[in-house]
Amino acid sequence: MTAHKSESAAAHDTHNMAEGQTACMAAAQVLAPPAPAKPPVVHAEVVRIPRPPMPSRDDADAARQVRAARRRELLEIFFQHQPGALRAKREQAYALVQRVVDPIEHERLRALLGNLWSTAQSAPPPEGL
């Protein structure tokens, strides 16, 4: 029995030693610095996006004339003598501004409308508000 105990103890010691070596190797793998990685290979290609054609000078002049006509029409609503209440003139001016599609021109016309409205209210017409 003693021999059996010693064989069993030796087997147990060998098993513990094997576990210890495995644990030591696992710890060494975790603590070891990683192998230097190869830099990734990147393939790039420059893509040229074609620009939209530039509007001709005639188109730019026509657009400028349209914008000027809208501003003139907005001024005429308030400052050309027309019968009617100021409230109706304001509604007519807002309808003009709402027809504009270009957001920059729309904002500029709304700012102009705000200034025109303030100016028109300072001296009410004889027809009343």
Q: How many CA atoms lie within 13 A of 126 on its CB side?
A: 3
Instruction: State in Å, rounded, how far the first CA of the chain is from the last one.
Output: 120
Compute mean pLDDT per 10 residues along the chain, 129 residues long, and list them: 51 52 55 72 84 77 91 86 81 91 91 89 65
Parse the chain into domains and list their residue ranges. Answer: 68-122
Question: What's residue 32's pLDDT?
Answer: 61
Question: What's residue 53's pLDDT?
Answer: 75
Question: What's residue 38's pLDDT?
Answer: 81
Stated pTM of the model: 0.49
